[in-house]
Amino acid sequence: MTQLRFEQVSLQATVGNAQILQDLSFSIAAGEFVGLVGPSGAGKTSLLRLINRLSDPSQGCIYFAGQDLRQLPVVPLRRQIVLLAQEPKLLDMTVEAALQYPLQLRNVERSQAESHIQTWLERLQIPQSWLPRTELALSVGQRQRVALARALLLEPQVLLLDEPTSALDAGNGTRLMELLKSLAEEKQVTILMANHQLNLLQNTCSRVLYLQQGRLVQDLPQGSIDWTQLHQAILQTEQQEAQAWQTEP
Ligand SMILES: Nc1ncnc2c1ncn2[C@@H]1O[C@H](COP(=O)(O)OP(=O)(O)OP(=O)(O)O)[C@@H](O)[C@H]1O
């Protein structure tokens, strides 16, 4: 079943008139685990933000389960489609309060909420000692894990992840990817993940969208991906862009 569909979507910068995203068309089915790759500045974050309605396309349309995103009320939409930012904020809450909050919103009974929270603490290997801490006492990687636990407590249908492993060590990065893969397979959670670490995507995602300068240049199913070539292509574009920048008058 198609869950997300982009139809000729473009996004214009709010300042200046540069095109951040240009004419994107693709569909994602429920339970797909899609990697979003491309050089720095290609538009990955901007694309994820569109799906969560943090901005809207300047042209074209995005559909969620067949409905135009703009026709759906934003608050319930953001419980079904959760975006995990690259450097998530826990606001002024302790870890414990941040984890309880989404369950309170859904009126989950207290003892059930506690047991849900414990399950995710274990699955994400979050120690109990973090519970009384605020974000000031957590590293970015630790915050990413707590924010992911909070997102998963909402049991979203779609999970949008912006570089969720950027601040994790290799062991935690691999564990997190395995956990997400099982969520996609077992619970049919649809995952769209921007990630520079192709080695982590390689063993987990079922498809890769390759963005370059705001355009979708390749849409690759897992079996047809040449990971070495993809890595080279991204590196080469980044180098060319850095050179162009240095030689600009
Ligand atoms: N509100 C905005 N107004 C103007 N330009 C913007 C705005 N938001 C993003 N951009 C520009 O759009 C382009 C895409 O940015 P985006 O953050 O989506 O890229 P990215 O692929 O996620 O990059 P990275 O991998 O470095 O995180 C960049 O050139 C950025 O400077």
pLDDT tens digits, one per residue of 108-127: 898 999 999 999 999 888 99
Which atom of ligand 1 is the closest one to the Cα of 211? 21
Sign for the CA dihedral angle at 220, 165, 157, 43 comes to negative
Where are the domains positioned within the chain? 2-243
CA of 240 relative to ligand 1 center, distance in Å: 18
- Domain range 2-243, CATH class: alpha beta
CA of 210 relative to ligand 1 center, distance in Å: 15
* Distant-in-sequence, close-in-space partners of 183: CB < 8 Å, separation ≥ 6: 152, 159, 189, 191
- The pick from 21, 46, 195 for probing ligand 1's pocket by mutation, whose C-beta has the most ligand atoms within 8 angstroms, reads 46
Put the strands of the sheet holding 190-194 in their side by side order. 81-84, 158-162, 190-194, 33-37, 207-212, 215-221
pLDDT band at 16 (very low <50, low <70, confident <90, very high): confident
pLDDT tens digits, one per residue of 130-168: 999 988 888 888 888 898 899 888 889 999 999 988 888
Per the structure block, which two tokens stand in for 170? 């290799």
DSSP H or E segment with residue 84:
strand 81-84
Which atom of ligand 1 is the closest one to the Cα of 20? 12
Residue 19: Cβ-neighbour burial (10 angstroms; 0-12, 13-18, 19+)? middle
Q: Residue 81: what residue type?
A: I
Model pTM score: 0.91
